[in-house]
Each structure stands twice: as C-alpha cells, then as structure tokens.
Amino acid sequence: MSQSAEKTIYTLSQLGESLKRTLERVTEGRALWFKAEISKLTTGPTGHVYLDLVEEKDGRRLAVMRGTLWRGQADVVKAKLGDNADQILQAGSEIVFSGRVNYHAVFGVSLVIEDIDFDAIVGEAERRKQATLATLKKEGALATNGMLPMPRLVQRIALVGSPGTSGFRDFGVHLLRNEWGLGFDVEVFATSVQGKQAPAEIVATLEAAAASSPDVVVLV
C-alpha cells in the first residue's frame, strides 16, 4: 500500500489477501452447505473433478463459481452415490453439497467439495415430479396413453432415454428376464434426461422414435 496527499493505493495482492482473511474469518474454516447447478464438469487425468457451478433464476444468471472435487474425495462421493453417480455428476444437474470456501489470488474464489447430499437431491426431484404430474393431470394429458391403440403382442420397442442411468439399465434387465421368455426387437434412441437442453432434446428424440414405426415407444 502506498499513500499520497490525495489517495491511498492498494495492490491487487493486498486486496486479495484482505478478501482471503475476510472469508476465513466469516467461514471459520468450516464446510458449509450450498445448492447450485452444474453447468460444466470435467475430470482431469489425475482423477480430480472440476465443476463450473451456476445459480440462475427466471433465465437470469445470478452467480458463477468454480468447484473442485479432489480425486480421493471424488471416489468417496461416487461410491456413496452408487449407480446414480453418473446421472447426478453431469452438466444440468442441481446438487446440494458441502464445501469449504477457498480463495486464491490468481484463480479467485472456489469451493472445495467434500460431500453431496443425495437425499436432498432426490427430495427436490420428487417435488418437481409431483408438480409435473399435477400439471399433466389438470391438462388431461395423463389419460392420453390409455387411449392409444396397442398390438396384443409387442415385439418392436423404441426405447428413449439416457443409457447411463439406472432406470434405463433396469428396464433392459426386465425385458431380458421377462417371465414369459419373450424376445423383443429393441432400438435405442439416446437423449439427455436432465439439464436445460433435455426437454427439447426429448421431444425431438420421441418424434424420431415414433417415425421408426415401432409397436410402442417407451420413455425411461
């Protein structure tokens, strides 16, 4: 810091050090709980996971921050999430997580992630599901499927979904192990099922699946 008769001048590193001390004083070095959407996720060659986290409301971006999941902790978190890990740790997912606030004079503020609350994520997903079902019921859309003609013996299935999800895999297992021993001709139409791009992508994929003239289209 230098002084003149008119003003006090700070260097960037002095400002950065002041910000760092303030953050350390406010957080007391504790892990805090946050909610954010993953806008981008990459895994480095050493196994560390790097996330771009965002908060948006009504289409307006309110905040952006970097998150880091170090390799050792990433292994612990993925083991905890089990089969849902790939579905949760992807762009477009909203996560609830604990992390420590970190400040670097060159790279700025970031969050070092320590844990992800799977129950909170499931609870929010269920709330949105019930809200969607209520809207569909109000619009009379829930009864639409029951009004469509279906062959007595289904053989050709157009399967729409994300192949990496547990629901997609479970459906395939049920088909293979069906109690009647029937065989099915299944054509997969892959689509995202989470994120802002998912609705438009699902609609386009459903249209492509229907155009293949299957006996039924299944969305999982």
Residue ranges per structural domain of the chain: 2-118, 152-219
User: What residues form DSSP beta bridges with 204?
Assistant: none
Query: Any residues with CB less than 8 A from the CB of 189 and at least 6 apart, and which?
Result: 158, 159, 160, 205, 206, 208, 209, 212
Coil, strand, or helix at residue 110? Answer: strand
> Is the whole-model pTM more than 0.75?
no
Q: Are 78 and 85 in contact (CB under 8 A)?
A: yes
Q: How confident is the model at residue 3 (pLDDT cuts 50, 70, 90)?
A: low
- Mean pLDDT value across residues 21-40: 92
Mean pLDDT (whole number) for 65-94:
89
Q: What pLDDT does 110 receive?
A: 94
CA distances from 3 to 6, 9, 188, 196 (A): 8, 6, 69, 51
Helix, strand, coil % (nearest 5) of the chain? 40, 30, 30
**Percent of the chain topping pLDDT 90:** 49
| Nearest Cα residue to 116 out of 193, 43, 35, 42 | 35
Question: Can you read off the two tokens belonging to residue 33?
Answer: 């709980």
Structure tokens at 62: 């309110």
Coil/strand/helix, residue 108: strand
Q: Are 49 and 41 in contact (CB under 8 A)?
A: yes
Q: Give tens-digit pLDDT for 56-72.
A: 888 788 999 999 999 99
- Report, as an integer, the average pLDDT of 158-178: 86
Question: What is the third-level CATH fold of 2-118?
Answer: OB fold (Dihydrolipoamide Acetyltransferase, E2P) (2.40.50)
- Does residue 122 carry a pLDDT above 80? no
Token pair of 36, please? Answer: 């954010």
Banded pLDDT at 91 (limits 50, 70, 90): confident
Residues 61/55, Cβ–Cβ less than 8 Å: yes
Beta strands in the chain (DSSP E): 2-3, 8-9, 32-43, 49-57, 60-69, 94-104, 108-116, 156-161, 185-190, 216-219
Strand partners, 33: 98
